[in-house]
Structures are given as C-alpha cells and as structure tokens.
Amino acid sequence: MSVDKMSSERRIPLVLVSGFLGSGKTTFLNHLFDSFPELKFGVIVNDFGELGIDAAELNTADGTVVHELNNGQIFCSCLAGSFIKSVSAYADLDIDYLLVETSGLAKPSPLLEIIEAIRKMSGERFSYHGMISLVDSGTYLKLSEVLKAVNEQIAYSDIVVLNKVDTADAGTVKRAEMKILSVNPDAEIIRTEFGRIEREVFLGLEKKEQIPGLDRRYSGWGDAGRPVPVLLKSESPVKMAALEDFVNNPGGDFLRMKGRLNTDAGFVFVDFTVAGGKINKNISKSSAEEGLVIILPADDSIVAAVKQRALEIFTLVA
C-alpha cells in the first residue's frame, strides 16, 4: 500500500507492537519514526509496572502524540476500558497511523473483543492492520518455556521480528525461528538487528478482514502465574556501588529490571532482563519519573526476598 493511497483513506490504521520485556520494541518504534519522516504517528505506550518508562525513550518528532497507560496490560480487564477510550481519543487527530506498544507481558487473546469495542466507540474511525511481535533471538527459547504470554503474542502476530540476531549464534537463531513457526506457521519472520525492518514491510500491513478470537490454549498465565511488578524509589541519591551490587544480586530471580535513578555518580539508566543487561551511566536528567521497576515471578518467597534486599538501598518499596 502506497503512502498516497494510505493517506487518502478515512480510516486510521491501528498497528500493535508486542514483544517481551527487552526484545527491542522501543528501538523498533524509533526506527519507524526515522524511516517515515513524512508520516504523522499517534502512539500509545503500555507499561506493565506502575512507573512509565518506555515512553520517555521514544524519539518522537514534533506533532507526534504519545499517551501512556501504566500498571497493567491493555488486554486485561484492569486496563481494557482505558485502552479503548485512549484509542478513541485519537479519532479526530490528524495522524496517518496509530501505533500501540503493548506491555511486554501482554496477553492478546481477547483481541477480537477489544477491536470490536474500539470500532463501536470510535465510529469505525480505525482499521486494525495487525500485530508485529519483537523477539530477542538470544533469550526467546528460555523465556518461551517460562512465560505463556511470550508465545501468545507470537500466535496473534502477523509479523515476527527476530531481533538482535547479531548477539546470538547461528544455531540459536535457527532454533528460535523453528520454535516461532511451530507457534504460528503463518507468521512472516524477519531476521534483523536493532529492530530494523524495510519500509515496504510496514506499509504492506493491510486491514485484517478476520481478527483472531479467543484461543483457550492461552487462557490464564500458566503454571508460573501472573508476574508481579515491584516499584523501588529513593528520596536521596542511591549509592552506585550498592546499586551495582543489587542488580547483580537482587535476592531472587527476576524477569525484568528497568528505570532511571539518581545516584552519587550522577543519573543512570538501568536495563536488565533474565539474560543480563547494563547500567548506562552519566545520562542527562530526564523529565520522566525516577524509580526502578522489577518484574518478578509470581512466587511469594522471591517477592519477599527481593523486597527485603531492596530496602537496603531504597526508601520506598511498593
């Protein structure tokens, strides 16, 4: 579909961007913005934790309207109503696309019901053009065994971006690709680095005449249960040495750790997954709220141990 044809249509294409925490969704969106300077995007960012983090990382151009939905995932009853209203609020804006960066723990089984509700509330102003799922080549195989939501996102996606292929060996990338096809044989798989895809791939997403309904295979969170977000904050600068010790030994297994913190060595950005990560030091102070969000397995003993460990350096643990 050409840009000229797309711009002349009354309906605004709605595209969902899914992917587990750390798979590269925000980097992918930034690549889209750079690739399409002629387009106007509306963006909804959904963070699972209480603290909004990803929206501040978007390199949006002037005129891009970004809205955040935090503390839940948009397909859950806790946020579904707010999500539908948020989408409808874009109906009268002059945008070419509405992009929704879902929570890394999104469970899109109720997709048909959600899209139908959007259609009714917005007066059919939007047309659903599909879901793109980002997958970290190096961590996918491990994560797919732990979290049902990871494969559920792939099952409902039209395009799977097998990202970070430069960080995994060829055998791991091939096994990940085979596993993805076993979950969704119809998915278009794109191997890439830094979330890059060709312009034609994105423009090739067309209106979906049929939207997948509820798949009982993905009901619930699986044996591991619904992950638990924990918010950590400090009234005074955190000691860098203590922070580095904490991220290396938080007191228990975690799925994701991300946030901005003021430390005695300056402002830092923390970004870790189960497969590792890094602390970016000497970043500039941001308007984004400071704090660290940790996503933990639904295990009371792990949650309690991490909270207890966090109290050693943080003044607020919620």
Q: Is the pLDDT of residue 304 over 60?
A: yes
What is the Cα Rg of the chain in Å?
19
User: What pLDDT is recorded for position 59?
Assistant: 62
- What does the block give as tokens for 164? 């970070």
Q: Does the structural domain 228-317 have CATH classification 3.40.47.10?
A: no
Q: Is the pLDDT of residue 89 over 70?
A: yes
User: What pLDDT is recorded for position 162?
Assistant: 97
pLDDT band, residue 60 (cuts 50/70/90): low
Range from 16-25, 279-288, 297-306 carrying the lowest mean pLDDT? 279-288
In sequence order, what are the residues at sequence separation of 6 or more whose Cβ sits closer than 8 angstroms to the Cβ of residue 301? 252
In sequence order, what are the residues at sequence separation of 6 or more whose Cβ sits closer than 8 angstroms to the Cβ of residue 45? 52, 54, 55, 58, 66, 67, 68, 69, 101
**Is 74:103 a contact under the CB 8 Å cutoff?**
yes
Q: What is the pTM of this model?
A: 0.81
Average pLDDT of every residue of the chain: 85
As a whole number, mean pLDDT of residues 273-299 equals: 80
Q: Is the pLDDT of residue 55 over 70?
A: no
Q: Is the pLDDT of residue 265 over 50?
A: yes
Range from 114-123, 218-227, 269-278 carrying the lowest mean pLDDT? 218-227
Phi (first) and psi of residue 103, to 5 degrees: -60, 150
In sequence order, what are the residues at sequence separation of 6 or more whose Cβ sits closer than 8 angstroms to the Cβ of residue 41? 32, 33, 60, 64, 95, 96, 97, 98, 99
**Is 79:113 a contact under the CB 8 Å cutoff?**
no
Distance CA 130, CA 67 (A): 20
Q: Which residue has the tokens 């259609």?
A: 119
Distance CA 154, CA 87 (A): 23
Q: Does the structural domain 3-218 have CATH classification 3.40.630.10?
A: no
User: What pLDDT is recorded for position 188?
Assistant: 96
Structure confidence by residue, pLDDT tens digits, 236-261 = 999 999 999 999 999 998 888 888 89
Same topology, domains 3-218 and 228-317? Answer is: no
Taking the domains of the chain in order of start, what are their residue ranges?
3-218, 228-317
Q: Which residue has the tokens 């904050």?
A: 233
Range from 33-47, 64-78, 208-222, 295-309 carrying the lowest mean pLDDT? 64-78
- Indicate the helix (H) or strand (E) that contains 32: helix 25-35
Structure confidence by residue, pLDDT tens digits, 142-183 = 888 878 889 999 999 999 999 999 999 999 999 999 999 999
User: What pLDDT is recorded for position 3?
Assistant: 43
User: What pLDDT is recorded for position 49?
Assistant: 52
Q: Is 120 exposed, middle or buried (0-12, 13-18, 19+ CB in 10 A)?
A: exposed
Which pairs from 59-65 meet CB under 8 Å and 24+ separation? 59/30, 59/33, 59/34, 60/33, 61/33, 61/37, 64/33, 64/40, 65/90, 65/93, 65/95
